[in-house]
């Protein structure tokens, strides 16, 4: 057996060390970026508990890895021979029971310690606290148990807020046919900081998974069932999320954000969302006729948003709901799931189409290009299963409606009137690429 000389080994060690340093630099540069989904940057108690459980195990695992993999390399290096000679046999050892017992027991003890920590953490993160908030809406005090019903659907998330009721599974009833909510928003969930929010996660079609990594782990949205989950944010901020259960053709484009604001700002947001949709100038008579159940066509008007309202009623209202416009005879969407995003406060959100596009440019003007492209041919900008369907099959996603450019422009003008425009700082913080 030829043993390597000491200087040669030192040289080899130095080379290994320089390689390791190089590796670290590469890893660091790879990680340096916005990394809004980073699982190792917890921003809430629950996420920190999870991280505190994982970190020491990662270190232990790292040490074991170095020992075993290093052991393989070291043994291989030390004991290597080029060829076998007939008289060159190592000691023929068949085993050693003491060793076997030791290396059965030691890993078992290590695992037992990890197991105990896991059970403790699991129980801690499963705990929920009962609390309730009072929010003044138009002078009335409304109570809100901080609960949000989260509904996954191909390929967007809906968040439903209910006031003055005890939102339990029993009260909600059929997860595929939920009671009318006070506030419905999509792809952006607004929550107050410092409050533990209970989520009741469900789905209208396939299984999705709701995940805001900075705040908590993920929870599957299972059709027909409510899965309880919780979120809490320490600080105001925007926390990015992504659907993580494979859910079909636009799974990668099903995104969401949790926007945490101070309790005061949350109250303001609630008030704003409780306002009915504004009726564009020149369209009052038209809406009054709609509400009275005797719709008459919109007369000629120079107001684009008024024409857009009429176009909305003609083209969009069989799926999308705007409170006060088509709620009186809204039959439910003609999509597979009977639902499409509620657009009553569309313009108060900063993303659209499942959190995939920015609704506003960074200067605060509406992102006309993407919005018009989406209305023109949704499947072109985000894969879906809404067009070219056989008879009797309902669309999943938004179909191509074949609207004229003028109608599209009118619709954009109308959509822009729906809700209070968000501030520039929120637009910047929620920007998706």
CA–centroid distance for 100 within its chain: 47
Q: Any idea what the Cα angle at residue 376 is, between residues 409 and 259, rounded to 5°? A: 80
In the complex with other proteins, the residue whose CB is nearer, 163 or 229, is 229
Q: Which CB, 224 or 332, lies closer to other proteins?
A: 224
Per-position x/- string for 225-244, each x denoting binding to other proteins as judged by CB under 8 A, each - no binding: x-x--------------xxx
* Selected binder of other proteins within 16, 21, 40, 180 (CB under 8 A): 40
Please report how close the Cβ of residue 204 comes to other proteins at its closest, in angstroms: 9
Q: Judge if the upstream peptide bond of residue 155 is cis by omega within 30 degrees of 0.
A: yes
Residues 70-109 within binding reach of other proteins (CB under 8 A): 71-73, 75-76, 79-84, 86, 88-96, 99-100, 103-104, 107-108
Closest approach of Cβ 238 to other proteins, in Å? 13
Task: State the nearest-atom distance from the C-beta of 98 to other proteins, in Å.
Answer: 11
Tell me which residues in 120-159 interact with other proteins (CB under 8 A): 121-123, 125-126, 154
Interaction with other proteins in 171-200: which residues (CB under 8 A)?
176
149 pairs with which residues across the strands? 160, 200
Number of residues that bind other proteins (CB under 8 A): 100
Alpha-carbon span 345 to 416, nearest angstrom: 9
Beta strands in 243-282 (DSSP E): 255-261
For residues 201 and 270, which CB has a smaller minimum distance to other proteins in the complex?
201
CA distance 145 to 142: 10
Contacts of other proteins in 370-409 (CB under 8 A): 383, 390, 393, 396
Give least dist CB 331 to other proteins, A: 18
Between 12 and 31, CB nearer to other proteins: 31
Query: Which of the stretches 7-15, 223-231, 281-289, 417-425 binds other proteins when contact is defined by CB under 8 A?
Result: 223-231
57 touches other proteins (CB under 8 A): yes
Instruction: Spell out the residues 6+ positions from residue 159 whose beta carbon is closer than 8 angstroms to its own.
Output: 148, 149, 150, 151, 184, 185, 186, 188, 189
Structure tokens at 193: 């900081």
Longest CA–CA span in the chain (Å) reads 106
Q: Is 28 in the site for other proteins (CB under 8 A)?
A: no
**Span near other proteins by CB under 8 A; candidates 31-39, 157-165, 282-290, 368-376:** 31-39
State CA 415 to chain mean position distance.
Answer: 24
CB of 119 to other proteins, least distance (A): 6
User: Which of residues 149 and 415 has its CB atom nearest to other proteins in the complex?
Assistant: 149
Angle between the 45-78 and 97-126 helix axes, to the nearest 10 degrees? 160
16: contact with other proteins by CB under 8 A: no
Given the complex with other proteins, which of 229 and 312 has the nearer CB atom? 229
Contacting range for other proteins; rule: CB under 8 A; set: 9-17, 32-40, 231-239, 398-406: 32-40
Nearer to other proteins, 20 or 75 (CB): 75
For the chain, the distance separating the N- and C-terminal CA atoms, rounded to the nearest angstrom, is: 60
39 near other proteins, rule: CB under 8 A: yes
> 312-331: which residues touch other proteins (CB under 8 A)?
none
Residues of span 338-367 touching other proteins by CB under 8 A: none
Contact between 426 and 352 (Cβ < 8 Å): no
Give burial (CB, 10 Å; 0-12/13-18/19+) of 387: middle
68 binds other proteins (CB under 8 A): yes
Q: For residues 187-226, b (16+ Cβ closer than 10 Å) or e, as one string?
A: bbbbbbbebbbbbbbbbbbbebbbbbbbbbbbbbbbbeeb
303: which residues sit within 8 A by CB, 6+ positions away?
280, 281, 282, 283
3-state class of 88 per DSSP?
coil
Does 223 contact other proteins by CB under 8 A? yes
Q: How far is the CB of 182 from other proteins (least distance, A)?
A: 26
| Per CB under 8 A, 21 contacts other proteins | no
Q: How many Å apart are CA 181 and CA 171, to the nearest integer? A: 12
């Amino acid at each position: 057996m030829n043993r390597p000389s000491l200087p040669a080994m030192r040289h080899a060690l130095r080379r290994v060390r320089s390689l390791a340093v190089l590796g670290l630099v590469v890893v660091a540069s790879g990680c340096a970026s916005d990394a809004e989904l980073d699982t190792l940057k917890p921003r809430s108690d629950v996420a920190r508990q999870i991280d505190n459980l994982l970190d020491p195990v990662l270190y232990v695992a790292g040490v074991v890895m170095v020992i075993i993999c290093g052991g393989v390399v070291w043994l291989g290096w030390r004991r290597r021979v080029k060829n076998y000679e007939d008289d060159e046999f190592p000691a023929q050892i068949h085993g050693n029971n003491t060793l076997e017992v030791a290396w059965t027991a030691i890993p078992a003890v290590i695992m037992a310690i990890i197991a105990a920590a896991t059970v403790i953490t699991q129980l801690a993160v499963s705990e929920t606290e009962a609390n309730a908030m009072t929010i003044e809406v138009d002078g009335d005090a409304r109570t809100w148990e901080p609960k949000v019903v989260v509904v996954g659907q191909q390929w967007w998330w809906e968040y439903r807020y209910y006031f003055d009721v005890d939102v339990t599974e029993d009260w909600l009833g059929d997860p595929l046919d939920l009671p009318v909510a006070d506030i419905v928003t999509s792809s952006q969930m607004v929550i107050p900081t410092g409050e533990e929010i209970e989520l009741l996660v469900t789905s209208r079609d396939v299984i999705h998974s709701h995940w805001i990594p900075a705040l908590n782990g993920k929870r599957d949205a299972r059709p027909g069932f409510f899965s309880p989950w919780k979120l809490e944010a320490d600080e105001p901020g925007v926390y990015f999320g992504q659907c993580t259960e494979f859910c079909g053709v636009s799974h990668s484009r099903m995104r969401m954000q949790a926007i945490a604001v101070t309790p005061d700002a949350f109250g303001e947001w609630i008030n704003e969302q409780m306002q009915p949709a504004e009726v564009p100038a020149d369209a009052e008579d038209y809406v009054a006729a709609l509400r009275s159940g005797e719709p008459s066509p919109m007369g000629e008007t120079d107001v684009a948003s008024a024409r857009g309202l009429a176009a909305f009623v003609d083209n969009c209202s069989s799926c999308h709901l705007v409170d006060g416009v088509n709620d009186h005879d809204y039959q439910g969407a003609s999509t597979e799931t009977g639902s499409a995003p509620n657009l009553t406060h569309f313009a108060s959100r900063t993303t659209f189409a499942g959190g995939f596009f920015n609704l506003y440019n960074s200067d605060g003007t509406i992102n006309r290009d993407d919005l018009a492209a989406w209305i023109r041919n949704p499947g072109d900008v985000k894969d879906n299963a809404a067009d070219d369907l056989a008879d009797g099959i309902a669309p999943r996603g938004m179909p191509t409606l074949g609207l004229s450019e003028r109608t599209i422009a009118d619709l954009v003008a109308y959509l822009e009137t729906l809700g209070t425009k968000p501030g520039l700082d929120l637009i910047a913080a929620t920007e998706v690429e």
